[in-house]
Amino acid sequence: MADSVVNWDGKWTTDWEGALAKRTERMTSSIIRETLKLMSTPGLISLGGGMPAPELFPIREFQEACRYILEHEGPQALQYSVTEGYPPLKQYLVAKMQKYGVPAEEENILIVNGSQQALDLIGKVFLNPGDTVLTDRPTYLGAIQAWSSYEARFVTVPLDDDGTRVDLMEDILKRERVKFIYSLPNFHNPAGVTLSLERRHKLVELAARYGVFIVEDDPYGELRFEGEDITPIIVLHKENTIYLSTFSKTLAPGIRLGWIVAPARVLGRLVQAKQAADLHTSIFVQMIANDICQRGFLRQHVKNIRNMYRERCAVMLSAMEKYFPPGVRWTRPQGGLFLWVILPEGTDSMELLKAALEEKVAFVPGSAFYPDGVSGKNTLRLTFSTATPEMIEEGIKRLGKAIERQLAQCKKVQ
Amino acid sequence: MADSVVNWDGKWTTDWEGALAKRTERMTSSIIRETLKLMSTPGLISLGGGMPAPELFPIREFQEACRYILEHEGPQALQYSVTEGYPPLKQYLVAKMQKYGVPAEEENILIVNGSQQALDLIGKVFLNPGDTVLTDRPTYLGAIQAWSSYEARFVTVPLDDDGTRVDLMEDILKRERVKFIYSLPNFHNPAGVTLSLERRHKLVELAARYGVFIVEDDPYGELRFEGEDITPIIVLHKENTIYLSTFSKTLAPGIRLGWIVAPARVLGRLVQAKQAADLHTSIFVQMIANDICQRGFLRQHVKNIRNMYRERCAVMLSAMEKYFPPGVRWTRPQGGLFLWVILPEGTDSMELLKAALEEKVAFVPGSAFYPDGVSGKNTLRLTFSTATPEMIEEGIKRLGKAIERQLAQCKKVQ
C-alpha cells in the first residue's frame, strides 16, 4: 500500500495497513482490468479484453427506450425499488429461461449488476474461509477474484476440446470436501471450448452423488455461431444448480445488468446478500433494458452478433494458420468471444506480452486464468469480438512476429 | 429457508442449508425493504421508507442527458469501463469536495452503486469476523446490514440533540479494540440530529488518540434547510477518514450512484474489492449523471429540494404538536429527510405499526436501527420528504389516533 497522496501532509494516526481484513491478502487487481488502461496507446490493436463489438451497440434502441421510459414512467425509473429486480424484466427473463427448458418462475430470478455481482453474492452466501471450489484450469478470472476475496481454496481439473475433463473429477470429489463446482459450459472463457452433452450428464451425476451443487456461468450461450445448442446444466439438474447470465454480451456491458436463476430457497439468501451489498440494481437501467427486450429487439440482434463473431473468429483462425510459427496450437470455438493459444513448452506469455506490446498488439497472458496464478505460462487468451477483421488480420500478423522473436530467444537461452 | 418451489419436483441432492456460509446467520431482510412492498396498499400514507420526493426528480434533465450522451458518446456509454469510475465525473466530484474544504484529487475518489455499496466495500476491506465497530444507537440500518454480513460486533453510544454522545466514547475506546467509528454527522438517519462542531473536534481527537479511523456517512449534508453548515469530519481529519456520499438524495436514487473519498492508499484497496464485486458502476448512468451535473443543474435544484423539505418538515412538526398525545417526544431536524419519535416507556412500536397500518399509515419501528435489534422498542422513524404536506398532515393525524389507541391499551395491560 504505497502512500501516493503527497499533498495530504497531516498526521497519519491510523495504521491503515494493520487495519486491513485478512481476506485482503487474497485480493489483487485483475491483469485484464489493468490492460484496459493500456488500450488508449495509439495504434495498439487489442485482442485482450473480453469486450463485445461496439459497432453493434443498439444506440438507437437505447435512445427510444430512454425517451419512452422517462416520458411515461419517469418517477418510478428514478425512485428506490425492490432488491429482487423490476418485475416486468423478471417476467421477460422467466419467458426466456422457459424457452431454454428451465421452469423458472419470478421467485427464481434475481437481477444483479452484471454477472460479476452474481459471483460475488454466491461467494458471500456460501463460502467460509478455506472452503473448496472445484473449477476448470484455466477458468474465468473474475470468478477467481470474486471467490478469492472470500478466502476460497481452488482445486482444478484440466480442459480439452470437449470442455472440462469430467472424468478426472470423481477422484477430487472423493478426496476433498468441495462446496460447489463452477462450470462455464458454453464457449468457455478463456478457453473457447464447449462442454459436450455426454459430459454434462456425467457432471450432473457426479454432483448429485457427492451432494455438491453446480454454479453454471453462461454469459455466451446465445452466441453460438456454429453447431447445435446443447442442453444447459440447470435443465438437467435444476434443484441443485445456480445459473448465471448477463445482458453484457447481447445488449451492452456498460449498463451492468445480469441475472441469477436459482431454487427459491437459495434465491432468498442471495436477495438478502444483495440488499446488504447495494440495495438494488439501477431501476432506471432495468426499465430501459426491459423496454428494449420486450419489443423483441434481441431476436434479430443476437443473429447479427453471431454473424459478426463467426466472421471474425474465422478471420482470426485463418490468420493464425498463416502467421503463427509451427508448434503453436489453439482451440476452435463454436461461439462466444475467445480462443485459447498454447505455445511450445518453456515459452512465457508474460515475456511475450512485452514483445507483443512493442509490436503494438495486446492479449491476456494465460496464467491470469489459473487459480494458482503461476500455471499456464505458455498459454494466452485472444478475443475475436472487438477488433475489425482487418485489425484482427494485422494483429495476428504482429503477434506471429512477436511469437517468432520470443521462440528464437528461448532457443538461444537453451 | 422454506422451500417454496412447488413446481420443481426433482431430486434435491444438495443440502443447501448445510452449504451456507457462517456469515449468513447474521443476514436478515431489512424491515424497510419489506415495508416498501406494503407501499402499494391503496390509500396507505407511508411515512416509512427514506425516499426523496418524486415530484422533484429532474426527468427533463435526464431526457436531455440521455439524448446527448447516446448521440455523442454512445459506444463509450455502453462498453465496459474502468473500476475507479468515469474520470469526468470524478473531476466533478473533486471540485465539489474541494468546495467542502476537502483537498481530494481524482485518486481519492471511487464511484460506487449508491453509498450502500460503499458500506459493503468498507466491510469487505476492513472487517474480520468479530471485529468491533463503534456506532451510534440508533444508527443507519443499511450499515448494520452491510457489516453484519462480515460478522462485525457493534458497540454503541447514545445520541442527544447535538448528535453522538462523544463524551461516552473514550471509555469504550479504552476498553474495546475498535476497528473504526461510524458517524452520520448531518441530519442523522434515523434520528434527524446533527453533530455539533465542538463534538466533531472531540471525536477527531479521540479517533487520533486511539488510532482508529472514522467512516463519515454524509448522504444528506447538502439538504440543510435551517441553520449553518458545519465543517465535515474529513476536513478535520482527512488522513484518517473515509467519507461517503451519494446522488440518491439530490439527483435520484433509482440510478444507484454514490462515491467514496479516502486516502489513496485506502482507495486502492476499495477499488480491488469493487472490481471483484461487480467490475464497475454502470458507465451509462455515470455519463448521464455527469452530463446533468456538469451543466450546473444541481445548484438550483438542491435549493428547491431544501425548500420543499423545510416546508414538509414544518408541517409534520406542527401536525405532531396537534395530533400526538402528551408524553410523546421527537427531534427537530435542520435538514435531511427524517425525524425520530420517542414514545412513553413501555410502548412497543412494532405493535403500534399494526395499529397504524389499520389506520392506513406506515412508519419504521425504531428497533430496526439498533444493532442489537431489540433496544429502542418505544421509538420510531418518520420520513417527511416523500408525502405531500396534505398527506403528512393526514398521516400524522392517523398516526396520532393509532398512538392513542396503543397508549390506552398499554394502560389497560398495566
Q: With CB atoms and an 8 Å threshold, state whether B79 touches A252.
A: yes
B11 falls within a domain? no
Average pLDDT over residues A198-217: 97
Q: What total number of domains does chain A contain? A: 2
- Residue of A80, A215, A250, A337 for testing the chain B interface, max B β-carbons within 10 Å: A80
Is B248 found in the same domain as B126? yes
**Probe site for chain A from B79, B127, B134, B285 (most A CB atoms < 10 A):** B79
Pairing of the two strands A163-164 and A153-160: antiparallel
Cell output for A187: 464457449
Residue A314 burial by Cβ neighbours in a 10 Å radius (0-12, 13-18, 19+): middle
Distance from CA of A309 to the nearest CA of B (A): 17
How many CB pairs below 8 Å do chains A and B form together?
334
Q: Has residue A138 got a pLDDT over 70?
A: yes
SS3 A354: helix
Using DSSP's 3-state secondary structure scheme, residue B300 falls into helix
Task: Quote the minimal CA–CA distance from A67 to chain B in Å.
Answer: 6
Chain B partners within 8 Å of A371 (Cβ): none
pLDDT at A12: 81
Q: What pLDDT score was predicted for residue B283?
A: 98
Within a domain: residue B333? Answer: yes
Looking at B255, B275, B295, the residue that finishes a domain is B295
Distant-in-sequence, close-in-space partners of A321: CB < 8 Å, separation ≥ 6: none
Q: What is the pLDDT of residue B18?
A: 92
Strand partners, B153: B132
Bridge partner residues of B84 (DSSP): none
* Torsions phi, psi for B405 (to 5 deg): -60, -45
Which cell numbers in the block locate residue A68? 419512452
Q: What is the mean pLDDT of residues A195-206?
A: 97
What is A262-309 written as a DSSP string? --HHHHHHHHHHHHHHHSS--HHHHHHHHHHHHTTHHHHHHHHHHHHH
Residue from B260, B282, B287 whose CB has the most chain A CBs within 10 Å, to mutate: B282
Q: Which residues of chain B have pLDDT under 50?
A: 1-8
pLDDT at position A47: 95
Helix (H) or strand (E) holding B403: helix B389-413
Domain boundary among B260, B295, B330: B295
CA distance A91 to A97: 10
pLDDT tens readout for residues B352-410: 999 999 999 999 999 999 999 889 999 999 999 999 999 999 999 999 999 999 999 87
Q: Do the beta carbons of residue B220 and residue B336 sit within 8 Å?
A: yes
Contact residues on chain B for A23, CB-CB shorter than 8 A: 124, 128
Residue B7's pLDDT is: 40
Residues of chain B with C-beta less than 8 angstroms from the C-beta of A265: 1-5, 16
Set of cell numbers at residue B161:
440533540
Distance from CA of A28 to the nearest CA of B (A): 6
**Above 70 in pLDDT, residue A111?**
yes
For position B4, what pLDDT does the model report?
38
Does pTM top 0.80 for this prediction? yes
Report which residue type is found at A299: R
Q: Nearest CA of chain A to the CA of B392: how many Å?
A: 19
B357 in the same domain as B222: no
Measured between CB atoms, which of A24, A66, A114 is closest to B70?
Answer: A66
Is A320 among the domain residues? yes
| CATH code of residue A276 | 3.40.640.10
Average pLDDT over residues A378-396: 97
Count CA atoms closer than 13 A to B94's CA, side-chain side.
13
Q: Partners of A329 in the beta sheet?
A: A342
| A226 three-state secondary structure | coil
Q: Is A99 exposed, middle or buried (0-12, 13-18, 19+ CB in 10 A)?
A: exposed
How far is A385 from A336, CA to CA, in rounded Å?
8
Are both A124 and A257 inside the same structural domain? yes
| Inter-chain residue contact B105 with A21, CB threshold 8 Å | no
Contact criterion met (CB below 8 Å) for A123 and B19? no
ipTM: 0.94
Based on the fold, state whether residues A332 and A353 are members of the same structural domain.
Answer: yes
Under the banding of pLDDT at 50, 70 and 90, the label for residue A166 is: very high
Select from B3, B13, B73 the residue whose CB has the most chain A CBs within 10 Å, as the one to mutate to test that interface.
B13
Query: Hey, which residues does A183 pair with through a beta bridge?
Result: A216
How far is C-alpha A127 from the geometric centre of its chain's CA atoms?
20
- The answer to whether A169 and A133 have CB atoms below 8 angstroms apart is no
> Are A168 and A241 contained in the same domain?
yes
Q: State how far residue A344 is from chain B, nearest Cα, in angstroms.
A: 32
Same domain, A252 and A384: no
My answer on whether B100 and B218 are in the same domain is: yes
Phi-psi category of residue A43: left, alpha or beta, with phi > 0 → left and psi -120 to 50 → alpha? left
Residues A97 and A224 in one domain: yes
**A12 lies in a domain?**
no
What does the H/E/C string look like for A188-212?
CCCCCCCCCHHHHHHHHHHHHHHCC
Partner-chain contact A275 B127, CB within 8 Å: no
Q: In 3D, which of A15, A5, A14 has the Cα closest to residue B103?
A: A5
Average pLDDT over residues A37-64: 89
Mean pLDDT of the A212-222 span: 97
Q: Where is B297: in which H helix or E strand? A: helix B297-323
Which has the minimum average pLDDT: A122-126, A394-398, B47-51, B277-281? Answer: B47-51
Higher pLDDT: A42 or A297? It is: A297
Same domain, A97 and A41: no
Q: What size, in residues, is chain A?
A: 414
Residue A30's pLDDT is 65
pLDDT of res. A112: 98
Q: Do residues A323 and A226 share a domain?
A: no
What's the rounded mean pLDDT across residues A172-185? 97
Domain boundary (B269, B295, B321) is at B295
Residue A11 lies in a domain: no
- A321: containing domain: 25-56+300-413
| pLDDT per position as a tens digit, B142-201 | 999 999 999 999 999 999 999 999 999 999 999 999 999 999 999 999 999 999 999 999
Q: Is the pLDDT of residue A4 over 50?
A: no
Q: What's the grid cell of residue B217?
A: 456517512
Residues contacting residue A99 through CB under 8 Å, at least 6 positions apart: none
**Percentage of chain A exceeding pLDDT 90:** 87
| Residues A218 and A162 both lie in one domain | yes
Which sign does the torsion angle of CA A302, A308, A314, A317 carry? negative
Q: Which residues, including other chains, have CB under 8 Å from residue A221's CB and lie 6 or more apart?
A: A185, A186, A187, A229, A232, A245
Q: Which residues of B touch A146 (CB under 8 A)?
A: 276-277
Nearest to B103 among A8, A75, A255 (CB): A8
**How high does pLDDT run on average in chain B?**
93
- pLDDT greater than 60 at residue A175: yes
Mean pLDDT of the A342-359 span: 93
| A219 to chain B, closest Cα gap in Å | 15
d(CA A283, CA A81): 7
CATH code (residue B376): 3.90.1150.10
Q: Is the pLDDT score of A40 beyond 80? A: no
Residues A92 and A52 in one domain: no
pLDDT at B150: 97
Q: Is residue A3 part of a domain?
A: no
Grid look-up 465497530 returns: B133
Are A213 and B5 within 8 A, CB to CB?
no
Contact B263 A3 (CB under 8 A): yes
Decide if B155 contacts B182 (C-beta within 8 A).
no
User: Does B279 contact A256 at a Cβ distance shorter than 8 Å?
Assistant: yes
